[in-house]
Amino acid sequence: MRATTVRALSIGAAALIAAAGGATIALAQSQQQTPKGWSYELRNGQRVPKGNRVTSPDGSWREEARQGNCVTVKERSATGEYKETRECEGTAKPQ
């Protein structure tokens, strides 16, 4: 009887450890960062072009991202105002 209890507890502990290990691996894969120097980042398994971001000392920034013939410019001022503009083949469209 005692051997059966010990065996059942060890099987339960092994299953618990295996489940925790699987959850840790899944969490690590979902938080994976794209290496520096790559021109894109991975979001939901898709390649998304990285923008060239320039940050000023006052906290404002400007980012340009290219997709084909279009350039998306994202700007944020030091006061928190956000502006996004998309230019395709010489035309500008605010978004």
User: Phi and psi of 92, rounded to 5°?
Assistant: -115, 135
Tens digits of pLDDT across the chain (95 residues): 677 777 767 786 666 676 655 555 655 555 667 677 777 888 788 888 778 889 999 999 999 988 888 899 999 999 999 999 999 986 655 66
Rounded Cα distance, 60 and 39, in Å: 23
Q: What's at 80, amino acid-wise?
A: G
For the question of whether the overall pTM of this predicted structure is more than 0.85, the answer is no
Smallest CA-to-CA distance from 82 within 52, 61, 54 is with: 61
The answer to whether 71 and 86 have CB atoms below 8 angstroms apart is yes
- For residue 1, the 8-state DSSP code is -
